[in-house]
Amino acid sequence: MADEIQVLVVDDSALMRNLISHMVDETPGLKVADKAMNGQFALQKIPRVNPDVICLDLEMPEMNGIEFLQERKKLGINIPVVILSSIAAKGAEITMEALSLGASDFVQKPSGSISEDIHVVKDTLVKMLLGYGGAYRRQQGKKVLAPEEYREKNIDKKASSLSSDIAAHLQHLCSTKVVEPAPPPPRIRNPANTEIIAIGISTGGPDALRVVFSQIDPDLLVPIVVVQHMPQGFTNEFARSLDRNCPLEVKEAEDGDPIKPGRILIAQGNKHLEIEKKGHVSVARLSNAPLVSGHRPSADVLFASVAMAYQNRVLGVIMTGMGKDGAMHLGTIYKEGGMTLGQDEPSSIVYGMPRVAHEMGHVMEQVPLSKMARRICEVAKTNRK
């Protein structure tokens, strides 16, 4: 089907190429364009098969994943790349290097280079391929799915083994129906000056946060706390990579870290981040509490926490991501009198989390990624006394 997202699978293991290809081909909206055993063969095949997204291993002979990304950059190839590699579990620094070279996101192979249990990361992988590949097709002026071929009965039949988040995403891609947002919830109090900014983000987040934080005002004196869905062991290196390109300090949150102006805290992988406020002092608190909205860290946990601690002095921002994490308690920020922003559909890799929040009436304003940093700073600096 011409409107399916075309995936180039690059891995040196024939078994892995076949397992990954099987997962791709059984997912509605995705199709394997071709397979390659290393980066060199992938470069040769790209002009011929014209993929919409590349699934790339890092450890390969002749031309590994990092070398492929370097050459891709030299050649000006902008096809999105999702890393699927065992090295992701061993070297966060190498993974962040791959992201800095233009890879869009990454998934860990669950048990080494040849992972026969690769199916356990299927949902994570296919949602990234759908998200990044779909966004690339839209940028190229192509359709993502043919509605007449993927109406509800076909999606339900083929997607029966997929998660509810991915099934909902597919339904959304097929639908031409515009859903009007619900009326916003009543406010307890009017907005006051912003004293903290909380951001919830998922699929598409690494690239989006790089854009926002590289453009943030260096004189912004409001602390920022962020939940980016990312595995344990990667958020420290991710924060360090953001810090190199952001005029403000960026660090991975540690339990007891003070919340202070001019600093951005990134939630640790597999730890909820909450803010505890006592008088004029606020600190970060990490916990191993159960998953919320399917995640730990959860944007809903962070949003509920800052709403309780800061009431009407919060700016809540929900950005690209699949599912609905953060949508409910962005509404709590709004009800308490805080301000809320959501990333708009055209600039979102996956318009899931911000869509749900918008449809619930919890988003005051939808903002494109290119203007998000400026709008955050404008809202945060507005005097409301």
pLDDT tens digits, residue range 145-194? Answer: 654 455 444 555 455 555 666 666 666 665 556 678 999 999 999 999 99
**CATH number of domain containing 236:** 3.40.50.180
Give residue 240's identity as a one-letter amino acid code.
R
- How far is it, in rounded angstroms, from Cα 320 to Cα 322? 7
pLDDT value at 385 more than 70: yes
d(CA 318, CA 358): 10
Residue 124 lies in a domain: yes
Domain termination site, one of 144, 174, 204: 174
Clarify whether residues 81 and 153 are in a common domain.
Answer: yes
Active-site pick, 86, 325, 347, 358: 325
List C-alpha distances in Å: 124 to 37, 54, 93, 128, 182.
23, 15, 21, 6, 30
Query: Are 245 and 330 in the same domain?
Result: yes
Ramachandran sector of residue 326 (left: φ over 0; alpha: ψ -120 to 50; beta: rest):
left
Can 325 be counted among the known catalytic residues? yes
pLDDT at residue 147 in the model: 44
Alpha helix ranges (H) inside 244-368: 299-310, 327-335, 353-359
Say if residue 156 is in the same domain as residue 204.
no
Cis before 206 (ω within 30)? no
- Residue 11, both tokens: 């891995």
Give the per-residue pLDDT at 92. 80
Residue 23: domain span: 5-174
What is the arithmetic mean of pLDDT over 69-92? Answer: 85
- The catalytic position among 21, 34, 86, 229 is 229
Strands 314-318 and 105-108: unpaired
Contact 294, 300 (CB under 8 A): no
Mean pLDDT of 349-356: 92
Residues 206 and 111 in one domain: no
Tell me: do 163 and 202 sit in the same domain.
no
Mean per-residue pLDDT for 17-37? 93
- The pLDDT score that the predictor gives to residue 170 is 63
Q: What is the pLDDT of residue 226?
A: 98
347 and 208 part of one domain = yes
- Which of 124, 143, 174 terminates a domain? The answer is 174
Which one of 21, 86, 104, 202 is the catalytic residue? Answer: 202
Known catalytic residue: 169? no
Cβ atoms of 108 and 88 closer than 8 Å: yes
pLDDT 10s digits, 230-273: 988 889 999 999 999 999 999 999 999 999 999 999 999 999 99
Percent share of the chain, pLDDT over 90: 69
- Averaged pLDDT of the chain: 89
Residue type, 82: V
Q: Which residues pair with 359 in a beta bridge?
A: none
**Spatial distance between the Cα atoms of 152 and 157, rounded to a whole number of angstroms:** 8
Whether residue 271 is contained in a domain is answered as yes
- The count of domains in the chain is 2
Asked if pLDDT for residue 217 goes beyond 50, the answer is yes
Binned at pLDDT 50, 70 and 90, residue 87 comes out as low
Asked if 138 and 213 sit in the same domain, the reply is no
Query: Is 56 contained in some domain?
Result: yes
Residues 168 and 206 in one domain: no
Domain membership of residue 369 (yes or no) is yes
Q: Which of 128, 144, 174 is the endpoint of a domain?
A: 174
Same domain, yes or no: 241 and 367: yes
CA distance 8 to 17: 10
Residue 90 has pLDDT above 60, yes or no: no
What pLDDT, on the 0 to 100 scale, is given for residue 160?
53
User: What is Dmax (Cα atoms) for the chain?
Assistant: 64
Instruction: Check residue 73 and give its pLDDT.
Output: 94
Question: Do residues 151 and 203 share a domain?
Answer: no
Domain membership flag for residue 191: no
**Is 182 contained in some domain?**
no
Q: What is the pLDDT of residue 11?
A: 94
Pair 78, 222 in one domain: no
DSSP H or E run through 72? helix 65-75
Least confident of 88-97, 130-139, 159-168: 159-168
In a domain? residue 89: yes
Note whether 103 and 203 are same-domain residues: no
Residue 156's CATH number = 3.40.50.2300
* Domain membership flag for residue 179: no
241 is catalytic: no
